[in-house]
Amino acid sequence: MTADVIDGKAFAATLRARVGTEARRFEADSGRKAGLAVVLVGEDPASQVYVRSKHKATVEAGMASFEHRLPADAAEAELLALVAQLNADPSVDGILVQLPLPPHMDEAKVIAAIDPDKDVDGFHVVNVGRLATGLHGFVPCTPLGCLMLLKERLGDLSGLEAVVIGRSNIVGKPMAQLLLQESCTVTIAHSRTRNLPEMVRRADIVVAAVGRPEMVKADWIKPGATVIDVGINRLPPTGDESKGRLVGDVAYDEVRDVAGAITPVPGGVGPMTIAVLLRNAVVAAYRNAGLDLPKDRL
């Protein structure tokens, strides 16, 4: 069997177009653009790339983008004051503080300072609690993007065995919660899990989010399973390469021969993250303005 390739790039483009439609409708209904504020502290090169692409995508979706940059040696109090100002600003619907923060800042404290109803990353404990108890809130963008791809591929997920490899707050734990909400039987595997290959072989759905290049092998996969690869790892350059290849957490070339469907790296989960961020920001705008956004529209 050769797995079908799940085209996250195409799905993300469709979602972004839908978000654009809803952002225009929001502007017509409310008389203002939906607004997303992104805060970058310091000059981490990868974070700068992310923040630039978020800005571009926000503007392309017809939303207002507010970018705030603080120097790497800014005091934590300065960042907290900026977050308080954005919380109070009615033109800002969503706030994203780009992580990681410099080591002298307490990430948990900064996330806790964001108004939960503007927390489009879904990292605030109030949103973590809402997700865990099935209340409406914001769900972290990457796992929600993975769920959208899974539902597009499989339809109803009820009763399926899902194994999530990785237990981070950003991907593994919220992914497990989402799959549980879809009535999957969910296992969270991690670095201390015994006999990981055997555990993964039970799964109809595998979500790999460990950050270990090509760790998941073909003989770990039940034939026909759906494999979602969240990993983005750069291999060391070989031969005449100037930069190493980007690979996921799944050994793509061999797993393709066993799985029913698989997301590639790049072009799978990656493009979904920003599309879902924009979706969360438009949802925030409707909620914060007290307007109704019917559930099936985004």
CA–CA dist 279, 275 (Å, integer): 6
Q: Does 214 bind ligand GUN (CB under 6 A)?
A: no
Which member of 19, 61, 139, 141 binds ligand GUN (CB under 6 A)? 141
Residues 54-93, one symbol each (x = binds ligand GUN by CB under 6 A, - = not), give: ----------------------------------------
Whether 54 is catalytic is yes
Burial 131-152 (b: 16+ CB within 10 A, else e): beeeeebbbbbbbbbbbbbbee
CA–CA dist 4, 45 (Å, integer): 34
Q: Does 115 bind ligand GUN (CB under 6 A)?
A: no
Which member of 34, 79, 82, 97 binds ligand GUN (CB under 6 A)? 97
Which member of 80, 99, 132, 180 binds ligand GUN (CB under 6 A)? 99
Burial 261-296 (b: 16+ CB within 10 A, else e): bbbbbebbbbbbbbbbbbbbbbbbbbbbbeeebeee
Q: Does 288 bind ligand GUN (CB under 6 A)?
A: no
Count of residues interacting with ligand GUN (CB under 6 A): 6
Catalytic residue (one of 93, 115, 119, 121): 121
Residue 243's contacts (CB-CB under 8 Å, 6 or more residues apart) are: 234, 237
Could you list the residues that contact ligand GUN (CB under 6 A)?
A: 96-99, 121, 141
Q: Could you give the residue numbers annotated as active site?
A: 54, 98, 121
